[in-house]
Chain A
Amino acid sequence: MSAQPARAPGPHGVTTESPIVRGLLILTAAALLLVLVGLPLFVVFASALGHGLRAYLSALRSPEASASIRLTLLVVAIAVPANLGFGLAAAWVVGKFRFFGRGLLVTLIDLPLAVSPVVAGLVYVLVFGRQGLLGPWLERHDLHVIFAVPGIVLATIFVTFPIVAREVLPLMEALGSHEEEAALTLGAGGWQTFFRITLPKVRWGVLYGVILCNARAMGEFGAVSVVSGHILGRTNTMPLAVEALYNDYDLVGAFAVASLLTLLAVATLLVKKWIEWRSDAGGRA
Protein backbone atom coordinates (compact mmCIF):
# COMPACT_ATOMS: atom_id res chain seq x y z
CA MET A 1 0.00 0.00 0.00
CA SER A 2 3.05 2.26 0.36
CA ALA A 3 3.42 2.35 -3.43
CA GLN A 4 0.13 4.12 -3.85
CA PRO A 5 0.77 7.83 -3.27
CA ALA A 6 2.54 7.96 -6.66
CA ARG A 7 -0.81 7.37 -8.32
CA ALA A 8 -3.54 9.93 -8.51
CA PRO A 9 -6.31 9.16 -6.00
CA GLY A 10 -8.65 6.90 -7.93
CA PRO A 11 -11.25 4.38 -6.97
CA HIS A 12 -8.48 2.07 -5.73
CA GLY A 13 -6.33 2.97 -2.77
CA VAL A 14 -8.42 5.82 -1.44
CA THR A 15 -11.79 4.44 -0.49
CA THR A 16 -11.00 0.83 -1.18
CA GLU A 17 -8.08 -1.54 -0.96
CA SER A 18 -5.75 -2.51 -3.80
CA PRO A 19 -6.98 -5.51 -5.81
CA ILE A 20 -4.39 -7.78 -4.18
CA VAL A 21 -5.38 -6.82 -0.64
CA ARG A 22 -9.02 -7.07 -1.57
CA GLY A 23 -8.52 -10.56 -3.01
CA LEU A 24 -6.66 -11.65 0.11
CA LEU A 25 -9.39 -10.29 2.37
CA ILE A 26 -12.11 -12.04 0.36
CA LEU A 27 -10.20 -15.32 0.42
CA THR A 28 -9.55 -15.07 4.17
CA ALA A 29 -13.17 -14.27 4.94
CA ALA A 30 -14.41 -17.06 2.68
CA ALA A 31 -11.97 -19.57 4.18
CA LEU A 32 -12.94 -18.61 7.74
CA LEU A 33 -16.65 -18.89 7.00
CA LEU A 34 -16.31 -22.18 5.14
CA VAL A 35 -14.18 -23.78 7.90
CA LEU A 36 -16.09 -22.35 10.87
CA VAL A 37 -19.64 -22.68 9.52
CA GLY A 38 -19.57 -24.58 6.23
CA LEU A 39 -17.67 -27.64 7.44
CA PRO A 40 -20.04 -28.41 10.36
CA LEU A 41 -22.91 -28.23 7.87
CA PHE A 42 -21.10 -30.63 5.56
CA VAL A 43 -20.24 -33.03 8.40
CA VAL A 44 -23.90 -33.39 9.38
CA PHE A 45 -24.89 -34.71 5.96
CA ALA A 46 -21.66 -36.65 5.38
CA SER A 47 -22.11 -38.52 8.68
CA ALA A 48 -25.83 -39.07 8.17
CA LEU A 49 -25.27 -40.59 4.73
CA GLY A 50 -21.94 -42.22 5.66
CA HIS A 51 -23.41 -45.73 5.54
CA GLY A 52 -25.57 -45.11 2.51
CA LEU A 53 -29.04 -43.88 1.81
CA ARG A 54 -30.72 -47.07 2.98
CA ALA A 55 -29.15 -46.84 6.45
CA TYR A 56 -30.11 -43.17 6.58
CA LEU A 57 -33.75 -43.81 5.77
CA SER A 58 -34.08 -46.75 8.14
CA ALA A 59 -32.48 -44.65 10.91
CA LEU A 60 -35.19 -42.05 10.36
CA ARG A 61 -37.87 -44.75 10.51
CA SER A 62 -36.66 -46.16 13.85
CA PRO A 63 -39.37 -45.95 16.54
CA GLU A 64 -37.24 -43.54 18.60
CA ALA A 65 -36.62 -41.14 15.71
CA SER A 66 -40.20 -41.13 14.47
CA ALA A 67 -41.59 -40.67 18.01
CA SER A 68 -39.29 -37.67 18.48
CA ILE A 69 -40.41 -36.18 15.16
CA ARG A 70 -44.08 -36.53 16.16
CA LEU A 71 -43.46 -34.97 19.58
CA THR A 72 -41.52 -32.04 18.11
CA LEU A 73 -44.33 -31.35 15.62
CA LEU A 74 -46.87 -31.41 18.45
CA VAL A 75 -44.80 -29.02 20.57
CA VAL A 76 -44.34 -26.43 17.82
CA ALA A 77 -48.03 -26.72 16.86
CA ILE A 78 -48.81 -25.31 20.31
CA ALA A 79 -45.81 -23.09 21.04
CA VAL A 80 -45.59 -21.19 17.74
CA PRO A 81 -49.26 -20.03 17.55
CA ALA A 82 -49.10 -19.04 21.23
CA ASN A 83 -46.02 -16.91 20.63
CA LEU A 84 -47.50 -15.51 17.42
CA GLY A 85 -50.52 -14.25 19.38
CA PHE A 86 -48.28 -12.76 22.02
CA GLY A 87 -45.93 -11.26 19.45
CA LEU A 88 -48.74 -9.47 17.60
CA ALA A 89 -50.29 -8.12 20.82
CA ALA A 90 -46.93 -6.95 22.16
CA ALA A 91 -45.94 -5.37 18.84
CA TRP A 92 -49.29 -3.55 18.67
CA VAL A 93 -48.94 -2.15 22.19
CA VAL A 94 -45.27 -1.19 21.95
CA GLY A 95 -45.25 -0.20 18.28
CA LYS A 96 -48.37 1.95 18.20
CA PHE A 97 -48.61 3.55 21.66
CA ARG A 98 -46.46 5.65 23.96
CA PHE A 99 -46.92 4.90 27.65
CA PHE A 100 -45.13 4.85 30.98
CA GLY A 101 -42.83 1.85 31.32
CA ARG A 102 -42.66 1.16 27.58
CA GLY A 103 -38.86 0.85 27.57
CA LEU A 104 -38.98 -1.50 30.53
CA LEU A 105 -41.57 -3.65 28.77
CA VAL A 106 -39.32 -3.98 25.70
CA THR A 107 -36.40 -5.00 27.91
CA LEU A 108 -38.55 -7.58 29.72
CA ILE A 109 -39.74 -9.01 26.40
CA ASP A 110 -36.08 -9.50 25.45
CA LEU A 111 -35.29 -11.16 28.77
CA PRO A 112 -35.83 -14.81 27.70
CA LEU A 113 -33.20 -14.40 24.97
CA ALA A 114 -30.64 -13.39 27.58
CA VAL A 115 -31.47 -16.09 30.12
CA SER A 116 -29.60 -19.38 29.78
CA PRO A 117 -31.94 -22.08 28.43
CA VAL A 118 -30.93 -24.29 31.34
CA VAL A 119 -32.11 -21.63 33.81
CA ALA A 120 -35.39 -21.43 31.86
CA GLY A 121 -35.86 -25.17 32.29
CA LEU A 122 -34.94 -24.98 35.96
CA VAL A 123 -37.54 -22.33 36.80
CA TYR A 124 -40.30 -24.56 35.42
CA VAL A 125 -39.02 -27.47 37.49
CA LEU A 126 -39.21 -25.15 40.52
CA VAL A 127 -42.81 -24.23 39.70
CA PHE A 128 -44.26 -27.51 38.47
CA GLY A 129 -41.81 -30.19 39.67
CA ARG A 130 -42.46 -32.60 42.52
CA GLN A 131 -40.57 -30.31 44.92
CA GLY A 132 -42.05 -27.28 43.19
CA LEU A 133 -44.56 -24.62 44.10
CA LEU A 134 -47.51 -26.34 42.43
CA GLY A 135 -46.02 -29.84 42.70
CA PRO A 136 -48.20 -31.20 45.54
CA TRP A 137 -51.38 -29.78 43.98
CA LEU A 138 -50.54 -31.25 40.56
CA GLU A 139 -49.77 -34.62 42.17
CA ARG A 140 -53.10 -34.69 43.97
CA HIS A 141 -54.90 -34.11 40.68
CA ASP A 142 -52.67 -36.56 38.82
CA LEU A 143 -51.46 -33.88 36.40
CA HIS A 144 -48.00 -34.20 34.91
CA VAL A 145 -46.14 -31.15 33.66
CA ILE A 146 -42.48 -31.87 34.32
CA PHE A 147 -41.11 -34.95 32.56
CA ALA A 148 -44.18 -34.71 30.32
CA VAL A 149 -45.37 -32.87 27.22
CA PRO A 150 -46.83 -29.75 28.95
CA GLY A 151 -43.45 -28.94 30.50
CA ILE A 152 -41.73 -29.31 27.15
CA VAL A 153 -44.27 -26.98 25.55
CA LEU A 154 -43.87 -24.39 28.34
CA ALA A 155 -40.07 -24.48 28.18
CA THR A 156 -40.21 -24.09 24.40
CA ILE A 157 -42.61 -21.14 24.70
CA PHE A 158 -40.29 -19.46 27.21
CA VAL A 159 -37.21 -19.77 25.02
CA THR A 160 -38.85 -18.67 21.74
CA PHE A 161 -41.13 -16.13 23.40
CA PRO A 162 -39.67 -12.83 22.05
CA ILE A 163 -38.89 -13.91 18.47
CA VAL A 164 -42.12 -12.92 16.68
CA ALA A 165 -42.45 -9.74 18.75
CA ARG A 166 -38.90 -8.68 17.89
CA GLU A 167 -39.40 -9.16 14.15
CA VAL A 168 -42.80 -7.42 13.99
CA LEU A 169 -42.26 -4.60 16.51
CA PRO A 170 -39.78 -2.45 14.54
CA LEU A 171 -41.91 -2.78 11.39
CA MET A 172 -45.11 -1.91 13.22
CA GLU A 173 -43.43 1.18 14.65
CA ALA A 174 -41.70 2.27 11.44
CA LEU A 175 -44.75 1.97 9.20
CA GLY A 176 -46.76 4.44 11.29
CA SER A 177 -50.48 4.60 11.99
CA HIS A 178 -51.86 6.91 9.30
CA GLU A 179 -53.56 4.19 7.30
CA GLU A 180 -55.11 2.69 10.44
CA GLU A 181 -56.38 6.10 11.48
CA ALA A 182 -57.88 6.64 8.03
CA ALA A 183 -59.62 3.25 8.17
CA LEU A 184 -61.06 4.02 11.60
CA THR A 185 -62.28 7.42 10.45
CA LEU A 186 -64.06 5.71 7.58
CA GLY A 187 -65.89 3.54 10.08
CA ALA A 188 -63.87 0.32 10.12
CA GLY A 189 -63.85 -1.68 13.34
CA GLY A 190 -60.80 -2.35 15.48
CA TRP A 191 -60.30 -5.97 14.45
CA GLN A 192 -61.19 -5.14 10.86
CA THR A 193 -58.53 -2.44 10.79
CA PHE A 194 -55.99 -4.80 12.32
CA PHE A 195 -56.63 -7.67 9.91
CA ARG A 196 -57.16 -5.58 6.76
CA ILE A 197 -54.60 -2.80 7.27
CA THR A 198 -52.01 -3.53 9.94
CA LEU A 199 -51.40 -7.23 9.38
CA PRO A 200 -50.89 -6.94 5.58
CA LYS A 201 -48.41 -4.10 6.17
CA VAL A 202 -46.23 -6.17 8.47
CA ARG A 203 -46.87 -9.56 6.83
CA TRP A 204 -43.25 -10.27 5.84
CA GLY A 205 -42.05 -9.55 9.34
CA VAL A 206 -44.75 -11.80 10.77
CA LEU A 207 -43.89 -14.57 8.32
CA TYR A 208 -40.18 -14.41 9.10
CA GLY A 209 -40.88 -14.22 12.84
CA VAL A 210 -43.08 -17.32 12.67
CA ILE A 211 -40.54 -19.26 10.62
CA LEU A 212 -37.64 -18.31 12.86
CA CYS A 213 -39.72 -19.05 15.96
CA ASN A 214 -40.60 -22.43 14.46
CA ALA A 215 -36.95 -23.25 13.72
CA ARG A 216 -35.86 -22.29 17.22
CA ALA A 217 -38.77 -24.14 18.81
CA MET A 218 -37.99 -27.34 16.90
CA GLY A 219 -34.31 -27.06 17.74
CA GLU A 220 -34.52 -26.00 21.41
CA PHE A 221 -32.31 -28.22 23.52
CA GLY A 222 -31.17 -26.86 26.88
CA ALA A 223 -34.50 -25.82 28.38
CA VAL A 224 -36.35 -28.85 27.04
CA SER A 225 -33.58 -31.16 28.20
CA VAL A 226 -34.05 -30.05 31.82
CA VAL A 227 -37.84 -30.56 31.90
CA SER A 228 -38.21 -33.60 29.65
CA GLY A 229 -36.81 -36.40 31.78
CA HIS A 230 -35.49 -38.10 28.63
CA ILE A 231 -38.06 -40.88 28.53
CA LEU A 232 -37.28 -42.82 25.35
CA GLY A 233 -40.07 -42.64 22.81
CA ARG A 234 -42.19 -40.51 25.16
CA THR A 235 -40.59 -37.18 26.04
CA ASN A 236 -37.65 -36.98 23.65
CA THR A 237 -37.98 -34.18 21.10
CA MET A 238 -35.80 -34.31 17.99
CA PRO A 239 -32.77 -32.53 19.55
CA LEU A 240 -33.04 -34.78 22.62
CA ALA A 241 -33.19 -37.83 20.35
CA VAL A 242 -30.03 -36.54 18.64
CA GLU A 243 -28.32 -36.46 22.04
CA ALA A 244 -29.62 -39.87 23.11
CA LEU A 245 -28.59 -41.54 19.84
CA TYR A 246 -25.20 -39.81 19.89
CA ASN A 247 -24.52 -40.96 23.45
CA ASP A 248 -25.47 -44.51 22.39
CA TYR A 249 -22.80 -44.29 19.66
CA ASP A 250 -25.54 -44.55 17.01
CA LEU A 251 -23.89 -41.89 14.87
CA VAL A 252 -25.91 -42.55 11.72
CA GLY A 253 -29.12 -42.27 13.74
CA ALA A 254 -28.00 -39.11 15.55
CA PHE A 255 -26.87 -37.38 12.38
CA ALA A 256 -29.93 -38.58 10.45
CA VAL A 257 -32.25 -36.79 12.90
CA ALA A 258 -29.78 -33.89 13.01
CA SER A 259 -29.89 -33.68 9.20
CA LEU A 260 -33.65 -33.07 9.31
CA LEU A 261 -33.12 -30.22 11.78
CA THR A 262 -30.32 -28.89 9.57
CA LEU A 263 -32.58 -28.96 6.50
CA LEU A 264 -35.10 -27.03 8.57
CA ALA A 265 -32.44 -24.42 9.42
CA VAL A 266 -31.37 -24.14 5.77
CA ALA A 267 -35.00 -23.83 4.64
CA THR A 268 -35.52 -21.12 7.27
CA LEU A 269 -32.56 -19.17 5.91
CA LEU A 270 -33.78 -19.58 2.32
CA VAL A 271 -37.20 -18.21 3.27
CA LYS A 272 -35.47 -15.31 5.02
CA LYS A 273 -33.48 -14.53 1.85
CA TRP A 274 -36.69 -14.78 -0.19
CA ILE A 275 -38.52 -12.43 2.16
CA GLU A 276 -35.64 -9.92 2.05
CA TRP A 277 -35.69 -10.10 -1.73
CA ARG A 278 -39.50 -9.74 -1.83
CA SER A 279 -39.60 -6.75 0.48
CA ASP A 280 -36.68 -5.11 -1.36
CA ALA A 281 -38.12 -5.70 -4.82
CA GLY A 282 -41.90 -5.78 -4.52
CA GLY A 283 -42.89 -4.64 -1.06
CA ARG A 284 -41.79 -1.04 -1.42
CA ALA A 285 -43.10 -0.50 -4.93
Chain B
Amino acid sequence: MRRSPHEWTVGPRRRGRGPLPGFGPALGFTLAYLGLVVLVPLAVLVLRAARFGAHELIAAVTTPRALAAFGLSFGASLAAAAIDGLVGTLIAWVLARYRFPGRALLDALVDLPFALPTAVAGIALAALYSASGLLGRHLEPLGLQVAFARPGVVLALAFIGLPFVVRTVQPVVGELDAAMEEAAATLGAGRSLILRRVVVPQLLPAILTGAGLAFARGVGEYGSIIFISGNLPNRTEIAPLLIVTKLEQYDYAGAMAIALVMLLAALALLLLANALQRWTLRRAGEELL
Protein backbone atom coordinates (compact mmCIF):
# COMPACT_ATOMS: atom_id res chain seq x y z
CA MET B 1 0.00 0.00 0.00
CA ARG B 2 3.02 2.30 0.05
CA ARG B 3 3.29 2.74 -3.68
CA SER B 4 2.34 6.13 -5.03
CA PRO B 5 -1.00 6.21 -6.86
CA HIS B 6 0.71 7.33 -10.04
CA GLU B 7 2.25 3.92 -10.52
CA TRP B 8 -1.22 2.45 -10.95
CA THR B 9 -2.43 4.76 -13.67
CA VAL B 10 -3.01 3.12 -16.97
CA GLY B 11 -0.03 3.42 -19.26
CA PRO B 12 1.10 2.00 -22.54
CA ARG B 13 3.48 -0.47 -20.90
CA ARG B 14 1.25 -1.58 -17.99
CA ARG B 15 0.85 -5.34 -18.09
CA GLY B 16 -1.49 -7.51 -16.06
CA ARG B 17 -4.92 -9.05 -15.77
CA GLY B 18 -7.23 -6.79 -17.68
CA PRO B 19 -7.20 -3.05 -17.83
CA LEU B 20 -7.85 -2.26 -14.14
CA PRO B 21 -5.01 -1.29 -11.82
CA GLY B 22 -4.35 -2.22 -8.22
CA PHE B 23 -4.54 -6.00 -8.46
CA GLY B 24 -1.20 -6.61 -6.78
CA PRO B 25 -1.49 -4.25 -3.81
CA ALA B 26 -5.15 -5.09 -3.16
CA LEU B 27 -4.48 -8.84 -3.31
CA GLY B 28 -1.44 -8.42 -1.08
CA PHE B 29 -3.41 -6.45 1.50
CA THR B 30 -6.33 -8.92 1.36
CA LEU B 31 -4.08 -11.93 1.84
CA ALA B 32 -2.01 -10.29 4.60
CA TYR B 33 -5.10 -9.24 6.54
CA LEU B 34 -6.81 -12.61 6.01
CA GLY B 35 -3.63 -14.40 7.04
CA LEU B 36 -2.89 -12.37 10.16
CA VAL B 37 -6.43 -12.12 11.48
CA VAL B 38 -7.86 -15.51 10.53
CA LEU B 39 -5.53 -18.08 9.04
CA VAL B 40 -2.46 -17.81 11.30
CA PRO B 41 -4.50 -17.90 14.55
CA LEU B 42 -6.48 -20.91 13.24
CA ALA B 43 -3.23 -22.60 12.21
CA VAL B 44 -1.86 -22.01 15.72
CA LEU B 45 -4.87 -23.89 17.11
CA VAL B 46 -4.27 -26.82 14.76
CA LEU B 47 -0.50 -26.94 15.39
CA ARG B 48 -0.74 -26.59 19.16
CA ALA B 49 -3.45 -29.23 19.32
CA ALA B 50 -1.31 -31.53 17.19
CA ARG B 51 1.44 -31.39 19.83
CA PHE B 52 -0.79 -33.29 22.22
CA GLY B 53 -0.90 -36.31 19.92
CA ALA B 54 -3.84 -38.20 18.51
CA HIS B 55 -4.34 -40.38 21.59
CA GLU B 56 -4.86 -37.54 24.02
CA LEU B 57 -7.03 -35.56 21.59
CA ILE B 58 -9.31 -38.50 20.85
CA ALA B 59 -9.56 -39.26 24.56
CA ALA B 60 -10.53 -35.62 25.22
CA VAL B 61 -13.34 -35.56 22.66
CA THR B 62 -14.75 -38.98 23.53
CA THR B 63 -15.40 -38.45 27.22
CA PRO B 64 -19.10 -38.98 27.99
CA ARG B 65 -19.44 -35.28 28.77
CA ALA B 66 -17.85 -34.19 25.47
CA LEU B 67 -19.91 -36.69 23.48
CA ALA B 68 -23.09 -35.45 25.15
CA ALA B 69 -22.14 -31.85 24.32
CA PHE B 70 -21.44 -32.68 20.67
CA GLY B 71 -24.66 -34.68 20.50
CA LEU B 72 -26.64 -31.73 21.82
CA SER B 73 -24.95 -29.12 19.60
CA PHE B 74 -25.37 -31.17 16.43
CA GLY B 75 -28.71 -32.79 17.34
CA ALA B 76 -30.43 -29.59 18.46
CA SER B 77 -29.05 -27.75 15.42
CA LEU B 78 -30.46 -30.46 13.15
CA ALA B 79 -33.87 -30.28 14.85
CA ALA B 80 -33.84 -26.48 14.67
CA ALA B 81 -32.83 -26.55 10.99
CA ALA B 82 -35.74 -28.91 10.26
CA ILE B 83 -38.17 -26.61 12.10
CA ASP B 84 -36.75 -23.60 10.27
CA GLY B 85 -37.05 -25.48 6.97
CA LEU B 86 -40.82 -25.89 7.50
CA VAL B 87 -41.65 -22.63 9.27
CA GLY B 88 -39.26 -20.57 7.16
CA THR B 89 -40.63 -21.94 3.90
CA LEU B 90 -44.19 -21.15 4.98
CA ILE B 91 -43.20 -17.60 5.96
CA ALA B 92 -41.20 -17.11 2.75
CA TRP B 93 -44.16 -18.34 0.69
CA VAL B 94 -46.63 -15.99 2.41
CA LEU B 95 -44.28 -12.99 2.17
CA ALA B 96 -43.43 -13.58 -1.48
CA ARG B 97 -46.84 -14.61 -2.82
CA TYR B 98 -49.48 -12.62 -0.95
CA ARG B 99 -50.14 -8.93 -0.41
CA PHE B 100 -51.83 -8.10 2.89
CA PRO B 101 -51.79 -5.33 5.50
CA GLY B 102 -48.82 -5.64 7.83
CA ARG B 103 -46.71 -7.55 5.32
CA ALA B 104 -43.87 -5.02 5.43
CA LEU B 105 -43.72 -5.26 9.23
CA LEU B 106 -43.56 -9.08 9.15
CA ASP B 107 -40.93 -8.91 6.43
CA ALA B 108 -38.82 -6.62 8.61
CA LEU B 109 -39.25 -8.91 11.65
CA VAL B 110 -37.68 -11.80 9.72
CA ASP B 111 -34.22 -10.22 9.82
CA LEU B 112 -34.32 -9.39 13.52
CA PRO B 113 -32.61 -12.59 14.76
CA PHE B 114 -29.77 -11.79 12.37
CA ALA B 115 -29.26 -8.27 13.69
CA LEU B 116 -30.08 -8.84 17.35
CA PRO B 117 -27.03 -9.57 19.56
CA THR B 118 -27.07 -13.20 20.63
CA ALA B 119 -26.83 -12.38 24.33
CA VAL B 120 -29.93 -10.18 24.05
CA ALA B 121 -31.80 -12.96 22.28
CA GLY B 122 -30.60 -15.33 24.99
CA ILE B 123 -31.89 -13.37 27.98
CA ALA B 124 -35.13 -12.45 26.17
CA LEU B 125 -35.90 -16.09 25.33
CA ALA B 126 -34.94 -17.21 28.84
CA ALA B 127 -37.23 -14.58 30.36
CA LEU B 128 -40.05 -15.52 27.99
CA TYR B 129 -39.95 -19.29 28.49
CA SER B 130 -38.89 -19.60 32.14
CA ALA B 131 -41.50 -20.91 34.59
CA SER B 132 -42.58 -17.36 35.48
CA GLY B 133 -42.25 -16.00 31.94
CA LEU B 134 -44.94 -14.74 29.60
CA LEU B 135 -45.11 -18.06 27.69
CA GLY B 136 -43.41 -20.36 30.17
CA ARG B 137 -46.10 -19.92 32.79
CA HIS B 138 -48.66 -21.31 30.33
CA LEU B 139 -46.44 -24.09 29.00
CA GLU B 140 -45.14 -25.38 32.33
CA PRO B 141 -48.59 -26.57 33.61
CA LEU B 142 -48.94 -28.52 30.36
CA GLY B 143 -45.77 -30.41 31.25
CA LEU B 144 -43.73 -28.59 28.60
CA GLN B 145 -40.48 -27.41 30.13
CA VAL B 146 -38.68 -25.26 27.58
CA ALA B 147 -36.21 -23.14 29.54
CA PHE B 148 -33.37 -25.01 31.27
CA ALA B 149 -34.11 -28.10 29.17
CA ARG B 150 -33.26 -29.34 25.68
CA PRO B 151 -36.34 -27.85 23.97
CA GLY B 152 -35.00 -24.45 25.00
CA VAL B 153 -31.78 -25.11 23.10
CA VAL B 154 -33.75 -26.11 19.98
CA LEU B 155 -35.99 -23.06 20.33
CA ALA B 156 -33.06 -20.63 20.62
CA LEU B 157 -31.38 -22.22 17.59
CA ALA B 158 -34.63 -22.10 15.59
CA PHE B 159 -34.83 -18.38 16.43
CA ILE B 160 -31.25 -17.75 15.27
CA GLY B 161 -31.59 -19.83 12.08
CA LEU B 162 -34.99 -18.64 10.82
CA PRO B 163 -33.75 -15.72 8.65
CA PHE B 164 -31.37 -18.01 6.78
CA VAL B 165 -34.23 -20.16 5.43
CA VAL B 166 -36.66 -17.30 4.78
CA ARG B 167 -34.12 -15.15 2.98
CA THR B 168 -32.88 -18.07 0.85
CA VAL B 169 -36.34 -19.35 -0.12
CA GLN B 170 -38.21 -16.04 -0.51
CA PRO B 171 -36.50 -14.87 -3.75
CA VAL B 172 -36.93 -18.33 -5.29
CA VAL B 173 -40.67 -18.27 -4.55
CA GLY B 174 -40.80 -14.82 -6.10
CA GLU B 175 -39.18 -16.06 -9.29
CA LEU B 176 -41.25 -19.25 -9.69
CA ASP B 177 -42.63 -19.42 -13.18
CA ALA B 178 -46.43 -19.22 -12.91
CA ALA B 179 -46.66 -20.69 -16.42
CA MET B 180 -45.49 -24.06 -15.10
CA GLU B 181 -48.20 -24.11 -12.46
CA GLU B 182 -50.77 -23.03 -15.08
CA ALA B 183 -49.60 -25.76 -17.44
CA ALA B 184 -49.94 -28.37 -14.71
CA ALA B 185 -53.43 -27.09 -13.92
CA THR B 186 -54.41 -27.19 -17.61
CA LEU B 187 -53.31 -30.82 -17.66
CA GLY B 188 -55.79 -31.49 -14.84
CA ALA B 189 -53.62 -31.37 -11.76
CA GLY B 190 -55.21 -30.11 -8.55
CA ARG B 191 -53.58 -27.50 -6.37
CA SER B 192 -52.10 -29.99 -3.90
CA LEU B 193 -50.63 -32.11 -6.71
CA ILE B 194 -49.16 -28.96 -8.30
CA LEU B 195 -47.62 -27.97 -4.99
CA ARG B 196 -46.14 -31.42 -4.48
CA ARG B 197 -44.89 -32.09 -8.00
CA VAL B 198 -44.18 -28.64 -9.45
CA VAL B 199 -43.60 -26.12 -6.68
CA VAL B 200 -41.80 -28.10 -3.96
CA PRO B 201 -39.17 -29.63 -6.30
CA GLN B 202 -38.28 -26.14 -7.50
CA LEU B 203 -37.99 -24.81 -3.95
CA LEU B 204 -36.17 -27.80 -2.48
CA PRO B 205 -32.58 -26.72 -3.24
CA ALA B 206 -33.21 -23.32 -1.66
CA ILE B 207 -34.90 -24.88 1.37
CA LEU B 208 -31.98 -27.28 1.85
CA THR B 209 -29.44 -24.48 1.40
CA GLY B 210 -31.23 -22.28 3.93
CA ALA B 211 -31.62 -25.12 6.43
CA GLY B 212 -27.96 -26.02 5.90
CA LEU B 213 -26.91 -22.46 6.70
CA ALA B 214 -29.13 -22.48 9.80
CA PHE B 215 -27.59 -25.81 10.87
CA ALA B 216 -24.03 -24.55 10.35
CA ARG B 217 -24.77 -21.41 12.33
CA GLY B 218 -26.43 -23.44 15.09
CA VAL B 219 -23.56 -25.86 15.68
CA GLY B 220 -21.23 -23.06 16.79
CA GLU B 221 -23.87 -20.90 18.47
CA TYR B 222 -23.17 -19.83 22.04
CA GLY B 223 -24.66 -16.53 23.23
CA SER B 224 -28.32 -17.18 22.58
CA ILE B 225 -28.25 -20.64 24.17
CA ILE B 226 -26.35 -20.41 27.43
CA PHE B 227 -29.02 -18.34 29.16
CA ILE B 228 -31.94 -20.61 28.28
CA SER B 229 -30.25 -24.01 28.40
CA GLY B 230 -29.38 -24.24 32.09
CA ASN B 231 -25.94 -25.63 31.19
CA LEU B 232 -26.17 -28.96 33.02
CA PRO B 233 -23.18 -31.17 32.12
CA ASN B 234 -24.23 -34.23 30.09
CA ARG B 235 -27.76 -32.86 29.64
CA THR B 236 -28.01 -29.27 28.41
CA GLU B 237 -24.37 -28.33 27.93
CA ILE B 238 -23.46 -27.37 24.35
CA ALA B 239 -20.02 -27.96 22.85
CA PRO B 240 -18.93 -24.27 22.69
CA LEU B 241 -19.78 -23.89 26.38
CA LEU B 242 -17.64 -26.94 27.17
CA ILE B 243 -14.71 -25.19 25.45
CA VAL B 244 -15.22 -22.16 27.68
CA THR B 245 -15.48 -24.35 30.79
CA LYS B 246 -12.30 -26.27 29.92
CA LEU B 247 -10.49 -23.01 29.26
CA GLU B 248 -11.55 -21.62 32.63
CA GLN B 249 -10.16 -24.77 34.25
CA TYR B 250 -6.86 -24.29 32.35
CA ASP B 251 -7.51 -27.60 30.55
CA TYR B 252 -6.00 -26.35 27.29
CA ALA B 253 -5.73 -29.82 25.73
CA GLY B 254 -9.42 -30.48 26.30
CA ALA B 255 -10.47 -27.04 25.02
CA MET B 256 -8.30 -27.36 21.91
CA ALA B 257 -9.47 -30.88 21.12
CA ILE B 258 -13.14 -29.86 21.19
CA ALA B 259 -12.37 -26.66 19.28
CA LEU B 260 -10.55 -28.68 16.63
CA VAL B 261 -13.61 -30.88 16.09
CA MET B 262 -15.79 -27.76 15.85
CA LEU B 263 -13.38 -26.18 13.36
CA LEU B 264 -13.29 -29.29 11.16
CA ALA B 265 -17.09 -29.49 11.26
CA ALA B 266 -17.30 -25.81 10.27
CA LEU B 267 -14.93 -26.39 7.34
CA ALA B 268 -16.88 -29.44 6.18
CA LEU B 269 -20.18 -27.53 6.40
CA LEU B 270 -18.71 -24.58 4.51
CA LEU B 271 -17.54 -26.84 1.67
CA LEU B 272 -20.90 -28.63 1.69
CA ALA B 273 -22.74 -25.30 1.49
CA ASN B 274 -20.60 -24.28 -1.48
CA ALA B 275 -21.31 -27.59 -3.22
CA LEU B 276 -25.03 -27.20 -2.53
CA GLN B 277 -24.96 -23.72 -3.99
CA ARG B 278 -23.22 -24.94 -7.14
CA TRP B 279 -25.81 -27.73 -7.43
CA THR B 280 -28.61 -25.18 -7.12
CA LEU B 281 -27.03 -22.98 -9.78
CA ARG B 282 -26.47 -25.93 -12.07
CA ARG B 283 -30.12 -26.99 -11.70
CA ALA B 284 -31.22 -23.45 -12.51
CA GLY B 285 -28.89 -23.53 -15.52
CA GLU B 286 -30.31 -26.83 -16.78
CA GLU B 287 -33.80 -25.41 -16.64
CA LEU B 288 -32.73 -22.52 -18.81
CA LEU B 289 -31.15 -24.77 -21.42
Q: Which positions in A face B, CB cutoff 8 Å?
A: 1-2, 4-5, 9, 13-17, 22, 25-26, 28-30, 32-41, 43-44, 47, 85-86, 89-90, 92-93, 96-99, 105, 107-112, 114-119, 122-127, 131-133, 154, 157-158, 161, 177, 180-181, 184-185, 187-194, 212, 215-216, 218-222, 225-226, 238-240, 242-243, 246, 251, 254-255, 258, 261-262, 265-266, 268-270, 272-273
A46 nearest in chain B by CB position: B134
CB–CB A89/B29 < 8 A: yes
Cα of A111 to Cα of B22 in the assembled complex, Å: 25
Q: Can you list 22 pairs linking A and B with CB atoms under 8 Å apart?
A: A4-B191, A14-B181, A22-B98, A25-B93, A36-B159, A43-B127, A44-B124, A47-B127, A97-B27, A115-B262, A116-B219, A116-B266, A122-B247, A126-B44, A177-B19, A239-B119, A240-B119, A243-B123, A261-B116, A265-B112, A265-B120, A270-B108
Within 8 A of A (CB), among B39-70: 39-42, 44-45, 48
List of A residues within 8 angstroms of B259 by Cβ: 116, 118-119, 122-123
List of A residues within 8 angstroms of B108 by Cβ: 269-270, 273
List of B residues within 8 angstroms of A98 by Cβ: 17-18
Other-chain contact of B38, A32, A111, A131 (Cβ < 8 Å): A111
CB–CB A222/B44 < 8 A: no
List of B residues within 8 angstroms of A86 by Cβ: 29-30, 33-34
CB–CB B220/A116 < 8 A: yes
Given contacts A37-B159, A189-B8, contact A93 B27 (CB under 8 A): yes
Q: Does B249 contact A (CB under 8 A)?
A: no
CB–CB B119/A258 < 8 A: yes
Q: Does B6 contact A (CB under 8 A)?
A: yes
List of A residues within 8 angstroms of B48 by Cβ: 126, 133
Question: Closest Cβ of chain A: how far from B168's Cβ, in Å?
Answer: 14
List of B residues within 8 angstroms of A107 by Cβ: 270-271, 274
Report whether over half of chain B's contact residues are helix, strand or loop; otherwise say mixed.
helix
**Interface residue range, chain B:** 35 or more
A120 nearest in chain B by CB position: B41
Other-chain contact of A15, B104, B182, B241 (Cβ < 8 Å): B182
B10 nearest in chain A by CB position: A184
Q: Does B154 contact A (CB under 8 A)?
A: no
A241 nearest in chain B by CB position: B119
CB–CB A258/B120 < 8 A: yes
CB–CB A5/B191 < 8 A: no
CB–CB B21/A114 < 8 A: no
List of A residues within 8 angstroms of B102 by Cβ: 30
List of B residues within 8 angstroms of A212 by Cβ: 115
Chain A binder among B144-152, B200-208, B221-229, B281-289: B221-229
Q: Does B279 contact A (CB under 8 A)?
A: no
Given contacts A93-B26, A219-B120, contact A116 B17 (CB under 8 A): no
